[in-house]
Structure 1
Amino acid sequence: MAKSKTEDHIALFIDCDNISHRSIEGIINELSKYGIVNIRQAYGNWTKDNLKNWEDKLLEFAIKPIQQFDYSKNKNATDILMTIDAIDLLHTKDIDAFAFATSDSDFTPVVMRVQAEGIRVYGFGEKKTPKPFMAACSQFIFTEQLMKIEAAKVLDTNDNTRTIDVQQTPLKKSGKEMRQDTWLVNVLRTALEQTMDEDGWANLAAIGQYINNSTSFSPINFGYKKMSNLINEIDLFDIYLDPDTKQMSIRDKRFY
């Protein structure tokens, strides 16, 4: 008799030509919130010197390296192999979610194909990642933010003699900066409008679910671990915290 799964199984595909080795710890930690990352595959031409920094990370995080030679100049055979393997896995394994670590928009079609099967796709890439790929993912997180989070852990646990690059310290968007972000404000207000009751209140969990279903938004990209922290800081909404359930509800300040 087969055992029932208690946690989601996640397959992670890493495009090592387009992602920094320094981001992998943050990626694994983030995905572990949602399930077991039981398939971890990293793609690249491992004969090249520019991938040498990945070797220790492959061992540390039990990632399987997949070799792909460059068959011709200016053609990335790695992308094609990674796409083929992802589609094969889609039809042969019981996978609950896929994750793609890349800043390359060429993976947009495969992400859309996986989504068409009703499977969530987590995307990770640099801020330069083209918008079509980010939008195709169920959730997309900037690797720069993840590296800052990991750097902050080092600051908290190491002694003061260790030097940390100031560029790696956490950067939270202020309330003013977020209020000036038209896309973010529209995402939050639209989600509120679609989930609120007749008095204008909406449960934050319902808002989060609506946003997850309709956008690739993540509060991490703005420097916040939780949606509730971002809501508190952006200061656009009245907030009510239920004393019994501790659940947060919000409503638009403009109308009350």
Structure 2
Amino acid sequence: MADTARVAVYIDFDNMVISRYDDVHGSGRWRRDDARKHTPSVGSGDEVARKLAEAEVDLGAIIDYASSFGTVALTRAYADWSVPANAAYRRQLTDRAVDLVQLFATSGTKNGGDIRLSIDAIDDLFQHADITHVVVVGGDSDYIALAQRCKRMGRYVIGIGVAGSTSRALVAACDDFSIYSDLLPGVEYDTDADPVADTPREPDTDDKDDARATTKAASKKTAQSRKPNKGKAAQASTLLRRAIQVGLEKGDDGWQHSSSIKSQMQRLDSTFKEKSLGFSSFRAFVEDHGDMVETRLLDNGQMEVRLR
């Protein structure tokens, strides 16, 4: 991205913490555990506190990813910060110069965060014309209209959500969309994973055994989510072919630059990330499809691709 790119980041923190907890421990588990009333702690005797620690959201990974698009000009996080599960993150957020927006629950557990976030984002775009990129962290379908409006205002929209709890329509509305687990350092995840099934198990009589079983189950789930997904790989292969064919339809000759093919793939499917499929680079991804395409290197080191 150009050095002049300036990024605004908006984090629906409640949405991320809840979605991540359910992703790690099972759909609907946040509500059943009443996790909002607990404080994350690895060594705590409180089982829910340990589960919160296992499902900790790495805000640094999110903000670092946002910075890859340009200078992060502002970052806002929306939540009820009086809730113990959220309050535990305040130091981490303030250390990254995140503006914490307090939203008290107005009805049950609802705090209107999506509305406030959307209003603030549009207001910021009018006040700060230099903002070129908008990052929306949260998979709620309520942000579809925000993404569409930002694009109409000429901004590049990046979405970040948790696997299994992100609206497909929101993914389509963004210029680029990433699954949160793909952003974690040193870890490659399946971006098409569904939430963990909430499979009941027989209770253990010993509390320590129960704690170990819970941790083991969470670790097993995390390991499984890192395995390559055959369905996702097949979809990526189809996407590669479609992107090359689209380039041909635009009147190009048989050979196309790999960079333009990748850009077209991301326009067709904003969730495409070669690293989530286990490839270190897009070139490695293309070369793995030797039965579909042929490649050649130019004198400047760039790669061109065409269908066989």
Q: Aligned equivalents of 2:280 and 2:162: distance in 1?
A: 18
Instruction: Specify the structure having the higher radius of gyration (Cα).
Output: 2
Are residues 1:136 and 2:191 paired? no
Question: In structure 2, what residue type is equivalent to 1:134?
Answer: V
Q: What TM-score, normalized to structure 2?
A: 0.67
> Which amino acid in 2 is paired with 1:249?
E
Q: CA deviation at 1:214?
A: 4.0
Q: Is the 8 A contact 2:256 2:306 kept in 1?
A: yes
Residue 134 of structure 2 aligns with which residue? 98
2:272 pairs with 205, 218, 228, which one? 218
SS at match of 2:240: helix
Task: Tell me, in whole angstroms, the C-alpha distance in 2 between the residues paired with 1:200 and 1:223.
Answer: 28
What TM-score do you get using the length of structure 1 for normalisation? 0.80
What SS class does the counterpart of residue 75 from structure 1 fall into?
coil
- Inter-partner Cα distance in structure 2 for 1:59 and 1:223: 34
| Structure possessing the higher relative contact order (Cα contacts under 8 Å, 6 or more residues apart) | 2
CA distance in 2, matches of 1:171, 1:234: 22
86, 90, 93: which one aligns with 1:58? 93
| Deviation for aligned residue 1:240 | 2.2
Report the Cα distance in structure 2 between the residues aligned to 1:6 and 1:146, rounded to whole angstroms: 22
Name stretches of at least 5 consecutive residues in structure 2 with no aligned partner: 18-55, 189-218
Q: Which position in structure 2 is the counterpart of 1:202?
A: 256
Cα 1:57/1:38, change in 2 over 3 Å: same
- The aligned residue for residue 13 of structure 1 is 10
1:69 aligns to what?
A: 104
RMSD: 2.6
By how many angstroms is 1:72 displaced? 1.5
Cα distance in 1 between the residues matched to 2:232 and 2:304: 20
Look up the equivalent residue of 2:178 and give its one-letter code: I
Looking at structure 2, the residues matched to 38 and 123 of structure 1 have their Cα atoms a distance apart, in angstroms, of 17
Shift in CA distance, 237/203, structure 1 to aligned 2, threshold 3 Å? farther
Match of 1:110 in 2: 146
User: For the Cα contact (< 8 Å) 2:59–2:93, is it kept in 1?
Assistant: no
Work out the percentage of aligned pairs sharing the same amino acid.
25
For 1:40 and 1:27, the matched residues in 2 are separated by: 11
Structure 2 residue aligned with 1:156: none
- Are 2:68 and 1:33 aligned? yes
Give a deviation string over 1:219-253, Cα, whole Å, max 9, x none. Answer: 1443445322322334453342424111112222x
